[in-house]
Protein backbone atom coordinates (compact mmCIF):
# COMPACT_ATOMS: atom_id res chain seq x y z
CA UNK A 1 0.00 0.00 0.00
CA UNK A 2 1.22 3.47 -0.87
CA UNK A 3 -0.11 6.46 1.05
CA UNK A 4 -0.41 9.55 -1.12
CA UNK A 5 -0.17 12.98 0.52
CA UNK A 6 -2.26 14.67 -2.12
CA UNK A 7 -3.37 17.59 0.07
CA UNK A 8 0.13 19.04 0.09
CA UNK A 9 1.58 20.21 -3.23
CA UNK A 10 5.31 19.62 -3.58
CA UNK A 11 7.75 21.46 -5.86
CA UNK A 12 6.90 22.28 -9.46
CA UNK A 13 8.20 19.79 -12.01
CA UNK A 14 9.71 22.09 -14.63
CA UNK A 15 8.37 21.44 -18.10
CA UNK A 16 11.94 21.86 -19.31
CA UNK A 17 12.74 18.43 -17.85
CA UNK A 18 10.98 17.23 -21.01
CA UNK A 19 13.54 18.92 -23.26
CA UNK A 20 15.25 17.46 -26.32
CA UNK A 21 18.65 17.70 -27.97
CA UNK A 22 19.52 17.91 -31.68
CA UNK A 23 23.13 17.86 -32.81
CA UNK A 24 24.73 17.93 -36.25
CA UNK A 25 25.31 14.22 -35.91
CA UNK A 26 24.37 11.46 -38.33
CA UNK A 27 20.80 11.87 -39.57
CA UNK A 28 19.43 13.94 -36.71
CA UNK A 29 19.40 17.40 -38.31
CA UNK A 30 19.73 16.49 -42.01
CA UNK A 31 17.05 13.96 -43.03
CA UNK A 32 15.60 13.82 -39.51
CA UNK A 33 14.48 17.38 -38.84
CA UNK A 34 15.52 19.24 -41.98
CA UNK A 35 15.07 18.00 -45.53
CA UNK A 36 15.33 21.36 -47.30
CA UNK A 37 12.53 23.27 -49.03
CA UNK A 38 13.00 21.43 -52.35
CA UNK A 39 12.54 17.96 -50.89
CA UNK A 40 9.67 15.74 -52.03
CA UNK A 41 9.14 14.88 -48.36
CA UNK A 42 6.37 17.16 -47.10
CA UNK A 43 7.99 20.11 -45.35
CA UNK A 44 7.48 23.70 -44.36
CA UNK A 45 10.50 25.87 -45.14
CA UNK A 46 12.60 22.72 -45.13
CA UNK A 47 11.40 21.27 -41.79
CA UNK A 48 9.77 17.83 -42.00
CA UNK A 49 6.09 18.30 -41.33
CA UNK A 50 5.57 14.82 -39.85
CA UNK A 51 8.45 15.26 -37.42
CA UNK A 52 7.35 18.73 -36.34
CA UNK A 53 3.79 17.50 -35.78
CA UNK A 54 4.92 14.48 -33.78
CA UNK A 55 7.13 16.62 -31.53
CA UNK A 56 4.39 19.18 -31.01
CA UNK A 57 2.06 16.39 -29.93
CA UNK A 58 4.34 15.59 -26.98
CA UNK A 59 4.60 19.27 -26.13
CA UNK A 60 8.33 19.68 -26.68
CA UNK A 61 9.28 22.61 -24.41
CA UNK A 62 12.90 23.29 -25.44
CA UNK A 63 15.44 22.14 -28.03
CA UNK A 64 19.22 22.17 -27.50
CA UNK A 65 21.43 22.86 -30.56
CA UNK A 66 23.97 22.62 -32.33
CA UNK A 67 25.77 20.08 -30.08
CA UNK A 68 27.24 18.24 -28.27
CA UNK A 69 30.83 17.88 -29.35
CA UNK A 70 29.88 19.59 -32.61
CA UNK A 71 29.18 22.83 -30.70
CA UNK A 72 32.82 23.40 -29.81
CA UNK A 73 33.84 23.28 -33.45
CA UNK A 74 30.86 25.21 -34.75
CA UNK A 75 31.48 28.68 -36.11
CA UNK A 76 28.08 30.26 -36.46
CA UNK A 77 29.05 32.64 -39.27
CA UNK A 78 29.54 29.57 -41.50
CA UNK A 79 25.81 28.92 -41.24
CA UNK A 80 24.27 32.25 -42.30
CA UNK A 81 23.66 33.95 -45.65
CA UNK A 82 22.99 32.40 -49.06
CA UNK A 83 23.06 28.61 -48.74
CA UNK A 84 25.15 28.03 -51.85
CA UNK A 85 27.87 30.28 -50.46
CA UNK A 86 28.01 28.69 -47.02
CA UNK A 87 31.28 27.08 -46.05
CA UNK A 88 31.39 23.29 -46.32
CA UNK A 89 33.28 21.83 -43.39
CA UNK A 90 34.26 18.39 -42.13
CA UNK A 91 32.23 17.04 -39.24
CA UNK A 92 35.29 15.68 -37.48
CA UNK A 93 33.46 14.18 -34.51
CA UNK A 94 30.74 12.38 -36.35
CA UNK A 95 31.83 10.26 -39.27
CA UNK A 96 34.08 12.81 -40.99
CA UNK A 97 31.24 13.69 -43.36
CA UNK A 98 30.74 17.01 -45.14
CA UNK A 99 28.68 19.52 -43.21
CA UNK A 100 27.04 21.90 -45.66
CA UNK A 101 25.94 24.40 -43.02
CA UNK A 102 22.59 24.55 -44.77
CA UNK A 103 20.98 24.30 -41.37
CA UNK A 104 22.22 27.33 -39.43
CA UNK A 105 20.92 29.96 -37.04
CA UNK A 106 17.97 31.10 -39.20
CA UNK A 107 16.90 27.53 -39.90
CA UNK A 108 17.17 26.62 -36.20
CA UNK A 109 14.87 29.46 -35.20
CA UNK A 110 12.45 28.57 -38.00
CA UNK A 111 12.29 25.10 -36.45
CA UNK A 112 11.84 26.52 -32.94
CA UNK A 113 9.06 28.68 -34.25
CA UNK A 114 7.28 25.75 -35.91
CA UNK A 115 7.67 23.64 -32.77
CA UNK A 116 6.49 26.49 -30.53
CA UNK A 117 9.27 25.75 -28.04
CA UNK A 118 12.21 27.57 -26.45
CA UNK A 119 15.75 27.72 -27.80
CA UNK A 120 18.76 26.36 -25.95
CA UNK A 121 21.90 27.32 -27.87
CA UNK A 122 25.24 25.82 -26.96
CA UNK A 123 28.18 28.17 -27.59
CA UNK A 124 31.73 27.33 -28.65
CA UNK A 125 34.40 27.72 -25.98
CA UNK A 126 36.72 24.93 -27.14
CA UNK A 127 37.75 26.47 -30.47
CA UNK A 128 35.83 29.74 -30.61
CA UNK A 129 36.73 33.21 -29.40
CA UNK A 130 34.97 35.40 -26.87
CA UNK A 131 34.24 37.86 -29.65
CA UNK A 132 32.61 35.15 -31.76
CA UNK A 133 30.33 34.14 -28.91
CA UNK A 134 29.48 37.74 -28.06
CA UNK A 135 28.62 38.48 -31.69
CA UNK A 136 26.41 35.43 -32.00
CA UNK A 137 24.36 36.60 -29.02
CA UNK A 138 24.20 40.09 -30.55
CA UNK A 139 23.16 38.64 -33.93
CA UNK A 140 20.35 36.63 -32.39
CA UNK A 141 18.97 38.98 -29.76
CA UNK A 142 19.76 42.62 -30.56
CA UNK A 143 16.66 44.59 -31.56
CA UNK A 144 18.23 48.01 -32.17
CA UNK A 145 21.02 49.13 -34.48
CA UNK A 146 24.35 47.30 -34.21
CA UNK A 147 26.78 45.60 -36.60
CA UNK A 148 25.38 42.14 -35.91
CA UNK A 149 21.71 43.11 -36.00
CA UNK A 150 22.43 44.82 -39.35
CA UNK A 151 23.95 41.57 -40.63
CA UNK A 152 20.90 39.63 -39.44
CA UNK A 153 18.64 42.05 -41.29
CA UNK A 154 20.76 41.69 -44.43
CA UNK A 155 20.08 37.97 -44.13
CA UNK A 156 16.35 38.54 -44.07
CA UNK A 157 15.40 38.64 -40.42
CA UNK A 158 14.18 41.93 -39.00
CA UNK A 159 13.16 40.98 -35.47
CA UNK A 160 15.55 39.44 -32.95
CA UNK A 161 14.87 35.95 -31.65
CA UNK A 162 14.49 34.88 -28.03
CA UNK A 163 17.37 32.82 -26.67
CA UNK A 164 16.11 31.48 -23.39
CA UNK A 165 19.04 29.21 -22.52
CA UNK A 166 22.71 29.51 -23.50
CA UNK A 167 25.41 26.93 -22.76
CA UNK A 168 29.00 28.15 -22.40
CA UNK A 169 30.90 25.19 -23.86
CA UNK A 170 30.03 21.50 -23.95
CA UNK A 171 31.97 18.69 -22.27
CA UNK A 172 34.89 21.05 -21.78
CA UNK A 173 36.55 18.21 -19.81
CA UNK A 174 36.57 16.11 -23.02
CA UNK A 175 35.67 16.84 -26.64
CA UNK A 176 35.15 20.51 -25.75
CA UNK A 177 38.82 21.19 -25.01
CA UNK A 178 40.17 18.61 -22.52
CA UNK A 179 40.33 21.26 -19.82
CA UNK A 180 40.91 20.97 -16.11
CA UNK A 181 38.07 22.27 -13.93
CA UNK A 182 40.01 25.22 -12.48
CA UNK A 183 40.94 26.39 -15.98
CA UNK A 184 37.39 25.93 -17.28
CA UNK A 185 35.93 27.82 -14.29
CA UNK A 186 38.07 30.85 -15.15
CA UNK A 187 37.27 30.56 -18.83
CA UNK A 188 33.56 30.25 -18.02
CA UNK A 189 33.71 33.46 -15.96
CA UNK A 190 35.34 35.27 -18.86
CA UNK A 191 33.13 33.98 -21.72
CA UNK A 192 29.85 34.39 -19.87
CA UNK A 193 30.66 38.07 -19.22
CA UNK A 194 30.07 38.71 -22.92
CA UNK A 195 26.84 36.77 -23.13
CA UNK A 196 25.16 40.16 -22.98
CA UNK A 197 21.52 40.77 -22.44
CA UNK A 198 20.29 42.76 -25.43
CA UNK A 199 16.64 41.84 -25.16
CA UNK A 200 14.19 42.09 -22.27
CA UNK A 201 14.43 38.48 -21.24
CA UNK A 202 17.41 37.45 -19.16
CA UNK A 203 19.43 34.69 -20.83
CA UNK A 204 19.76 31.66 -18.56
CA UNK A 205 23.50 30.84 -18.62
CA UNK A 206 24.60 27.25 -18.30
CA UNK A 207 28.13 26.25 -17.32
CA UNK A 208 29.65 22.98 -18.44
CA UNK A 209 29.32 20.56 -15.55
CA UNK A 210 30.74 17.13 -14.88
CA UNK A 211 30.79 13.87 -16.72
CA UNK A 212 28.90 11.25 -14.69
CA UNK A 213 30.57 11.01 -11.24
CA UNK A 214 33.36 13.55 -11.63
CA UNK A 215 32.67 15.21 -8.29
CA UNK A 216 35.93 17.14 -8.37
CA UNK A 217 34.74 18.97 -11.51
CA UNK A 218 31.47 19.94 -9.83
CA UNK A 219 33.28 21.10 -6.69
CA UNK A 220 35.82 23.28 -8.51
CA UNK A 221 33.42 24.85 -10.98
CA UNK A 222 30.80 25.58 -8.33
CA UNK A 223 33.42 26.96 -5.94
CA UNK A 224 34.94 29.30 -8.50
CA UNK A 225 32.10 30.24 -10.82
CA UNK A 226 28.66 29.51 -9.32
CA UNK A 227 27.97 33.21 -8.78
CA UNK A 228 28.10 33.74 -12.56
CA UNK A 229 25.77 30.94 -13.68
CA UNK A 230 22.09 30.05 -13.65
CA UNK A 231 22.62 26.36 -14.31
CA UNK A 232 25.34 23.75 -14.57
CA UNK A 233 25.12 20.67 -16.74
CA UNK A 234 25.55 16.96 -16.01
CA UNK A 235 25.90 14.21 -18.62
CA UNK A 236 25.11 10.58 -17.92
CA UNK A 237 24.23 7.95 -20.52
CA UNK A 238 22.79 4.54 -19.65
CA UNK A 239 25.07 1.72 -20.84
CA UNK A 240 24.77 -2.05 -20.73
CA UNK A 241 28.36 -2.48 -19.56
CA UNK A 242 31.73 -0.99 -20.41
CA UNK A 243 31.82 2.16 -22.55
CA UNK A 244 33.97 0.40 -25.18
CA UNK A 245 31.65 -2.59 -25.38
CA UNK A 246 28.12 -1.31 -25.93
CA UNK A 247 25.39 -3.94 -26.11
CA UNK A 248 22.98 -4.24 -29.05
CA UNK A 249 19.72 -2.30 -29.15
CA UNK A 250 17.72 -5.37 -30.33
CA UNK A 251 17.90 -9.08 -29.65
CA UNK A 252 19.79 -8.68 -26.37
CA UNK A 253 20.19 -10.99 -23.40
CA UNK A 254 18.14 -10.58 -20.20
CA UNK A 255 21.29 -9.60 -18.37
CA UNK A 256 21.47 -6.51 -20.60
CA UNK A 257 17.89 -5.59 -19.74
CA UNK A 258 18.95 -5.34 -16.13
CA UNK A 259 22.33 -3.71 -16.65
CA UNK A 260 20.89 -0.94 -18.82
CA UNK A 261 18.14 -0.12 -16.33
CA UNK A 262 20.59 -0.25 -13.44
CA UNK A 263 22.83 2.18 -15.29
CA UNK A 264 19.85 4.52 -15.81
CA UNK A 265 18.99 4.25 -12.10
CA UNK A 266 22.45 5.55 -11.26
CA UNK A 267 21.07 8.97 -12.20
CA UNK A 268 19.47 9.12 -8.74
CA UNK A 269 22.81 8.71 -6.95
CA UNK A 270 24.52 11.17 -9.31
CA UNK A 271 21.93 13.89 -8.81
CA UNK A 272 21.93 13.33 -5.04
CA UNK A 273 25.70 13.59 -4.74
CA UNK A 274 26.17 16.46 -7.18
CA UNK A 275 23.31 18.34 -5.47
CA UNK A 276 25.03 17.91 -2.12
CA UNK A 277 28.12 19.61 -3.54
CA UNK A 278 25.97 22.31 -5.12
CA UNK A 279 24.23 22.90 -1.77
CA UNK A 280 27.57 23.91 -0.24
CA UNK A 281 27.84 26.86 -2.63
CA UNK A 282 24.15 27.44 -3.31
CA UNK A 283 21.95 26.47 -0.37
CA UNK A 284 18.93 28.21 -1.95
CA UNK A 285 18.75 25.98 -5.05
CA UNK A 286 19.28 29.04 -7.24
CA UNK A 287 21.58 27.25 -9.68
CA UNK A 288 19.78 24.56 -11.65
CA UNK A 289 21.22 21.15 -12.38
CA UNK A 290 20.73 20.72 -16.13
CA UNK A 291 20.98 17.15 -17.37
CA UNK A 292 21.37 18.23 -20.97
CA UNK A 293 22.44 14.82 -22.25
CA UNK A 294 20.94 11.56 -21.06
CA UNK A 295 19.46 8.35 -22.45
CA UNK A 296 20.51 4.89 -23.63
CA UNK A 297 23.73 4.67 -25.61
CA UNK A 298 23.81 1.30 -27.37
CA UNK A 299 25.66 -0.28 -30.29
CA UNK A 300 24.75 1.16 -33.69
CA UNK A 301 22.42 -0.83 -35.92
CA UNK A 302 24.49 -3.33 -37.93
CA UNK A 303 25.46 -1.94 -41.33
CA UNK A 304 25.06 1.72 -40.35
CA UNK A 305 27.85 4.32 -40.10
CA UNK A 306 29.43 3.92 -36.63
CA UNK A 307 29.87 7.71 -36.48
CA UNK A 308 26.12 8.27 -36.90
CA UNK A 309 25.00 6.64 -33.62
CA UNK A 310 21.80 5.25 -35.13
CA UNK A 311 20.20 2.71 -32.80
CA UNK A 312 16.80 1.07 -32.59
CA UNK A 313 14.62 1.77 -29.59
CA UNK A 314 12.65 -0.85 -27.66
CA UNK A 315 10.38 -1.25 -24.66
CA UNK A 316 13.64 -1.48 -22.63
CA UNK A 317 14.44 2.12 -23.65
CA UNK A 318 10.92 3.07 -22.62
CA UNK A 319 11.77 1.71 -19.15
CA UNK A 320 14.96 3.81 -19.14
CA UNK A 321 12.94 6.91 -20.06
CA UNK A 322 10.24 6.35 -17.42
CA UNK A 323 12.66 5.46 -14.62
CA UNK A 324 14.84 8.48 -15.42
CA UNK A 325 11.95 10.95 -15.66
CA UNK A 326 10.71 9.67 -12.28
CA UNK A 327 14.18 10.36 -10.85
CA UNK A 328 14.15 13.90 -12.29
CA UNK A 329 10.75 14.50 -10.69
CA UNK A 330 12.08 13.27 -7.36
CA UNK A 331 14.79 15.94 -7.58
CA UNK A 332 12.53 18.67 -8.97
CA UNK A 333 13.91 21.22 -6.50
CA UNK A 334 17.31 21.09 -8.21
CA UNK A 335 16.73 19.73 -11.72
CA UNK A 336 15.54 22.66 -13.83
CA UNK A 337 16.00 21.17 -17.30
CA UNK A 338 16.95 17.90 -19.02
CA UNK A 339 17.46 17.08 -22.70
CA UNK A 340 17.26 13.51 -23.89
CA UNK A 341 19.79 12.58 -26.60
CA UNK A 342 18.80 12.88 -29.38
CA UNK A 343 15.49 13.82 -31.00
CA UNK A 344 15.54 11.96 -34.34
CA UNK A 345 17.68 9.05 -35.65
CA UNK A 346 20.44 9.34 -33.02
CA UNK A 347 20.84 7.42 -29.70
CA UNK A 348 17.58 7.24 -27.68
CA UNK A 349 15.51 8.98 -30.33
CA UNK A 350 11.85 9.89 -30.17
CA UNK A 351 11.46 9.32 -33.89
CA UNK A 352 13.19 7.30 -36.60
CA UNK A 353 12.98 8.22 -40.27
CA UNK A 354 13.89 6.46 -43.51
CA UNK A 355 13.15 8.55 -46.59
CA UNK A 356 9.48 9.43 -46.33
CA UNK A 357 8.79 6.88 -43.64
CA UNK A 358 8.64 7.78 -39.96
CA UNK A 359 8.17 5.69 -36.86
CA UNK A 360 7.46 6.71 -33.27
CA UNK A 361 9.59 4.85 -30.77
CA UNK A 362 8.51 3.39 -27.40
CA UNK A 363 10.47 6.27 -25.78
CA UNK A 364 8.29 8.73 -27.70
CA UNK A 365 5.22 7.16 -26.13
CA UNK A 366 6.68 7.55 -22.64
CA UNK A 367 7.14 11.27 -23.32
CA UNK A 368 3.55 11.32 -24.51
CA UNK A 369 2.20 9.52 -21.42
CA UNK A 370 4.32 11.65 -19.10
CA UNK A 371 3.59 15.07 -20.58
CA UNK A 372 0.88 15.53 -17.92
CA UNK A 373 3.69 16.15 -15.42
CA UNK A 374 5.05 19.21 -17.26
CA UNK A 375 4.81 22.15 -14.85
CA UNK A 376 2.69 20.10 -12.44
CA UNK A 377 3.27 20.07 -8.66
CA UNK A 378 4.86 16.90 -7.40
CA UNK A 379 2.82 14.96 -4.86
CA UNK A 380 4.78 12.98 -2.30
CA UNK A 381 3.88 9.53 -1.01
CA UNK A 382 5.27 6.79 1.20
CA UNK A 383 4.78 3.07 1.86
CA UNK A 384 5.64 -0.22 0.32
CA UNK A 385 5.96 -0.33 -3.40
CA UNK A 386 6.84 -3.61 -5.10
CA UNK A 387 10.23 -4.45 -6.55
CA UNK A 388 10.89 -3.10 -10.06
CA UNK A 389 8.22 -0.43 -9.87
CA UNK A 390 8.99 3.24 -10.30
CA UNK A 391 6.36 5.97 -10.23
CA UNK A 392 5.49 9.67 -10.01
CA UNK A 393 2.38 11.39 -8.78
CA UNK A 394 1.71 15.03 -9.58
CA UNK A 395 -1.15 17.47 -9.60
CA UNK A 396 -2.14 20.08 -12.14
CA UNK A 397 -5.37 21.98 -12.71
CA UNK A 398 -7.12 19.96 -10.01
CA UNK A 399 -6.28 16.59 -11.58
CA UNK A 400 -3.97 13.98 -10.05
CA UNK A 401 -1.59 12.28 -12.49
CA UNK A 402 -0.10 8.93 -11.59
CA UNK A 403 2.54 7.44 -13.88
CA UNK A 404 4.11 4.11 -13.19
CA UNK A 405 6.55 1.78 -14.85
CA UNK A 406 6.88 -1.94 -14.12
CA UNK A 407 10.29 -2.98 -15.38
CA UNK A 408 10.05 -6.60 -14.23
CA UNK A 409 10.42 -9.10 -17.06
CA UNK A 410 7.45 -11.27 -16.09
CA UNK A 411 4.27 -11.16 -14.08
CA UNK A 412 1.73 -8.53 -13.07
CA UNK A 413 2.03 -6.36 -9.96
CA UNK A 414 -1.04 -5.35 -8.01
CA UNK A 415 -0.62 -2.23 -5.96
CA UNK A 416 -2.91 -0.07 -3.80
CA UNK A 417 -2.77 3.69 -3.43
CA UNK A 418 -4.51 5.36 -0.51
CA UNK A 419 -5.31 9.03 -1.17
CA UNK A 420 -6.28 11.72 1.35
CA UNK A 421 -9.38 12.49 -0.72
CA UNK A 422 -12.22 10.50 -2.21
CA UNK A 423 -11.70 9.51 -5.84
CA UNK A 424 -14.57 10.83 -7.93
CA UNK A 425 -13.58 9.81 -11.39
CA UNK A 426 -10.85 8.40 -13.61
CA UNK A 427 -10.37 10.96 -16.34
CA UNK A 428 -8.03 8.94 -18.52
CA UNK A 429 -5.99 5.78 -18.24
CA UNK A 430 -3.43 4.74 -20.90
CA UNK A 431 -0.39 2.53 -21.18
CA UNK A 432 2.25 0.96 -23.38
CA UNK A 433 3.29 -2.62 -23.09
CA UNK A 434 6.04 -4.79 -24.56
CA UNK A 435 5.18 -8.37 -25.38
CA UNK A 436 8.83 -9.26 -25.90
CA UNK A 437 11.95 -8.04 -24.15
CA UNK A 438 12.84 -6.06 -27.27
CA UNK A 439 9.41 -5.10 -28.59
CA UNK A 440 9.86 -2.13 -30.89
CA UNK A 441 8.44 -0.39 -33.92
CA UNK A 442 9.81 -0.85 -37.44
CA UNK A 443 8.97 1.10 -40.59
CA UNK A 444 6.92 -1.84 -41.91
CA UNK A 445 5.49 -2.63 -38.45
CA UNK A 446 5.03 0.77 -36.77
CA UNK A 447 2.40 -0.29 -34.24
CA UNK A 448 4.04 -3.04 -32.22
CA UNK A 449 4.34 -0.72 -29.21
CA UNK A 450 1.50 1.76 -29.04
CA UNK A 451 -0.48 3.65 -26.39
CA UNK A 452 -3.63 1.72 -25.52
CA UNK A 453 -6.38 2.19 -22.94
CA UNK A 454 -5.43 0.74 -19.55
CA UNK A 455 -8.36 -0.95 -17.86
CA UNK A 456 -6.90 -3.02 -15.06
CA UNK A 457 -7.80 -0.68 -12.21
CA UNK A 458 -10.59 -0.19 -9.71
CA UNK A 459 -11.34 2.46 -7.11
CA UNK A 460 -13.50 2.85 -4.08
CA UNK A 461 -13.62 5.81 -1.71
CA UNK A 462 -9.97 6.85 -1.21
CA UNK A 463 -8.37 3.72 -2.58
CA UNK A 464 -7.10 2.99 -6.08
CA UNK A 465 -5.95 -0.51 -7.05
CA UNK A 466 -3.87 -1.10 -10.17
CA UNK A 467 -2.60 -4.30 -11.71
CA UNK A 468 0.29 -3.36 -13.92
CA UNK A 469 1.86 -5.86 -16.29
CA UNK A 470 5.60 -6.40 -16.59
CA UNK A 471 7.39 -4.33 -19.26
CA UNK A 472 4.80 -1.56 -19.24
CA UNK A 473 4.39 2.14 -18.48
CA UNK A 474 1.06 3.75 -17.63
CA UNK A 475 -0.49 7.08 -16.77
CA UNK A 476 -3.81 7.37 -15.00
CA UNK A 477 -5.51 10.70 -14.30
CA UNK A 478 -7.88 11.04 -11.36
CA UNK A 479 -10.35 13.61 -10.19
CA UNK A 480 -10.61 13.67 -6.43
CA UNK A 481 -12.77 15.60 -3.99
CA UNK A 482 -11.20 18.52 -2.03
- x/- mask, ligand AHR, residues 366-395, rule CB under 6 A, reads ------------------------------
User: Considering only CA atoms, which of 77, 80, 58, 64 is closest in space to residue 24?
Assistant: 64
User: Any contact of residue 341 with ligand AHR (CB under 6 A)?
Assistant: yes
Q: Tell me if 292 sits within 8 A of 229, measured CB to CB.
A: no
Question: Across the strands, what pairs with 4?
Answer: 381
Sign of the dihedral defined by the CA atoms of residues 154, 156, 160, 163, in that order: negative
Q: Is 84 an active-site residue?
A: no
Distance between CA atoms of residues 17 and 276, nearest Å: 20
User: Considering only CA atoms, which of 142, 143, 226, 147 is closest in space to residue 181?
Assistant: 226
Distance between CA atoms of residues 420 and 326, nearest Å: 22
CA quadruple 237, 242, 243, 246: dihedral, nearest 10: -90
Map the footprint of ligand AHR across residues 84-143, applying CB under 6 A: none
User: Any contact of residue 293 with ligand AHR (CB under 6 A)?
Assistant: yes
Residue whose CB is nearest to ligand AHR in the complex, by number? 68
Binders of ligand AHR: how many residues, by CB under 6 A? 10
Q: Which of 14, 170, 312, 395 binds ligand AHR (CB under 6 A)?
A: 170
Distance between CA atoms of residues 250 and 201, nearest Å: 45
Distance between CA atoms of residues 22 and 340, nearest Å: 9
Residue-wise burial string across 53-78, b where 16 or more C-beta atoms lie within 10 A, e elsewhere: ebbeebbbbbbbbbbbbbbbbbebbe
User: Any contact of residue 68 with ligand AHR (CB under 6 A)?
Assistant: yes
Sign of the dihedral defined by the CA atoms of residues 259, 272, 387, 466, in that order: negative
Q: Which of 28, 52, 63, 69 binds ligand AHR (CB under 6 A)?
A: 69
Query: Taking the complex as a whole, how short is the minimal distance between the CB of residue 133 and ligand AHR, in angstroms?
Result: 18
Q: Is 293 an active-site residue?
A: yes
Query: Taking the complex as a whole, how short is the minimal distance between the CB of residue 283 and ligand AHR, in angstroms?
Result: 30
Query: Taking the complex as a whole, how short is the minimal distance between the CB of residue 126 and ligand AHR, in angstroms?
Result: 11
Instruction: Considering the candidates 171, 254, 447, 460, report the single residue annotated as catalytic.
Output: 171
Q: Which of 171, 220, 230, 282 binds ligand AHR (CB under 6 A)?
A: 171
User: Any contact of residue 67 with ligand AHR (CB under 6 A)?
Assistant: yes
User: Any contact of residue 23 with ligand AHR (CB under 6 A)?
Assistant: yes
Query: Taking the complex as a whole, how short is the minimal distance between the CB of residue 69 and ligand AHR, in angstroms?
Result: 4
Chain positions contacting ligand AHR, by CB under 6 A: 23, 67-69, 170-171, 293, 341-342, 347
Catalytic residues: 171, 293
Amino acid sequence: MITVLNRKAGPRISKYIYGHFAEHLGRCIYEGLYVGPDSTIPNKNGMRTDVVEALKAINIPVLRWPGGCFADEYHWQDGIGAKEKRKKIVNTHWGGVTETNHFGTHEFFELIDQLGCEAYINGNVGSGTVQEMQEWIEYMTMAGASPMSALRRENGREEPWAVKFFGVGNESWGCGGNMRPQYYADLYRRYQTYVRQYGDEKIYKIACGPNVDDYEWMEEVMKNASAFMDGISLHHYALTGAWEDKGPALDFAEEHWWSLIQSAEKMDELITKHSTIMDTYDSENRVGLIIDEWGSWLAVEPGTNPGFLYQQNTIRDAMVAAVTLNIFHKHAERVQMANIAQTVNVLQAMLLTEGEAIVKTPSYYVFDLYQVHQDAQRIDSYGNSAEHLSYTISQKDGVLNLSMCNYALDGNQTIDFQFESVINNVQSSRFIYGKAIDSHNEFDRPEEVLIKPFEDYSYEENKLTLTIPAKSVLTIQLEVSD
